[in-house]
Amino acid sequence: MKAAVVSELGAPLEVHDVPVPSPGPGQILVKIEASGLCHTDIHAARGEWPVKPKIPLIPGHEGVGIVTKLGEGELPVADGDRVALPWLGHACGHCRHCVAGWETYCQQPQYMGYTMDGSYAEYTVAYASHVVKVPDGVGAFDAAPLTCAGVTTYKGLKVAHPQPSETVMVVGIGGLGHLGLQYARAFGSTTVAVDVEEEKLQLAKELGADHVVEARGDLLESMTGIGGADVALVTVPSPSAMQTAHAVLSPNGRMVIVGLPAHDRLELPIFDTVLTGKSVIGSLVGTSNDLADCFALHARGLTKVVAERRQLETSTTALRRSWPAAFPPGSCSTCAEPHGSGRPTRGDKGRQNDRRCASRLRSARGLLCARLTLAPSERIRAADGHQLKAKQLTADTDDIERDARTAEPSGPPAEN
């Protein structure tokens, strides 16, 4: 079968022929229909987090597919079921966290696409106890981003307990944020969408946001005029964005962090936190029940995965372009050219130029992304985003196979 593999930390993502895995006791074999690329996959490939992933690694924890083979034992799924393969690949089921319904905090976990091979492949093995059935009315290509971006923001809001009389601010209207905004509306709260991109603010309006705020302006002044935020859902892995969100919280406000910055540090004022009763809450994806809730809400038409059908022009090359590990330090996140090349570069003073570069190259090179969706058999849809690392593209594995034979290298092997 074809699979996208990270052979060593920091190495480029490459498509290889690998054996089809066999399910062990309690496991199932799933033929993947769609799989999203999450920013977590990028951290994994780079080895940026304290706990390192298995290597070699097949990434992917947003897989959706059909059960084709069952391992030994009594299993809660059947051959032919469509299932989602979320981040939590397995939990012990016996510790106090699992027993209390918080299995995402199990102390003996296995993670899809991190400690076990994930769904960037035509087939993958999963534990039957921790997949989630996808109901009728939810297609595979909507289910894939719901399996991570959806359940992460849904659970993040659940732990903040938003009330209909309260205001929820969603920071970052990308792959996670555009779904978080819709969940906040489902909770009945007044919603505020915050982003740096005008197109994302327009998207937020279309999704029903009550207010939109351009993040490059004075956010504190803007939120004061609205009345402040009772809940801030920060989807951006940026400490500065988290600090700003904390500052605009109303008394007794709750800031929920779901993004994980590579540098792993956040400074917040103690006096402001204590004297105004603010809370800072970390939330890690969601449970199987939470994901089932997301699917049920989607089946009822309460959420919409903003998407576009698209086939990558050259799958292997585009995979590498879309994989940020391909960008050497100090390069443009869109054109991948180094500093001094005459093209816009990113950095403290280059960020605005970088956005212009993205706009200029979009039609010529396709929509670059940090959330790539693969489909073995057909074009698929994926959630749209840009500046906040949330755009998805689509690929056909037939093209992956063909382009792997024909595509020319796009640069030095260590930088592809």
Sketch out the chain's domains with CATH numbers: 2-133 (3.90.180.10), 150-282 (3.40.50.720), 315-415 (no CATH)
Q: Virtual CA dihedral for 198, 283, 127, 307, nearest 10 degrees?
A: -10
- The answer to whether the CB of 4 falls within 8 A of the CB of 23 is no
Mean pLDDT per block of 10 residues along the chain (416 residues) reads 90 88 97 86 86 94 96 96 97 95 94 95 96 95 94 97 97 94 97 94 96 88 90 94 95 94 88 97 95 97 76 38 44 36 38 36 28 36 28 30 32 32
CA dist., res. 314 & res. 366, Å (int):
10
Specify the pLDDT at position 343: 38
| Nearest C-alpha neighbor of 215 from the set 225, 202, 201 | 201
| Nearest C-alpha neighbor of 210 from the set 231, 234, 191, 232 | 191
CA dist., res. 33 & res. 13, Å (int):
20
Specify the pLDDT at position 220: 84
- The label of the residue with tokens 């086939």 reads 311
CA dist., res. 124 & res. 117, Å (int):
7
SS3 percent helix, strand, coil of the chain, rounded to 5, is: 30, 20, 45
Q: What is the DSSP letter of 297?
A: H
Specify the pLDDT at position 62: 92
Chain centroid to Cα 270, Å, comes to 31
CA dist., res. 214 & res. 382, Å (int):
25
Token readout for 112 is 């899809």
Specify the pLDDT at position 310: 39
Specify the pLDDT at position 203: 96
Burial class of residue 393, CB neighbours in 10 A (0-12, 13-18, 19+): buried
Burial class of residue 301, CB neighbours in 10 A (0-12, 13-18, 19+): exposed
CA dist., res. 204 & res. 208, Å (int):
6
Helix, coil or strand: residue 15: strand
| Nearest C-alpha neighbor of 25 from the set 90, 70, 89, 71 | 71
Residue 122, number of CB atoms within 10 A of its CB? 19
Specify the pLDDT at position 193: 97
Specify the pLDDT at position 306: 83
Specify the pLDDT at position 48: 85
Specify the pLDDT at position 412: 32
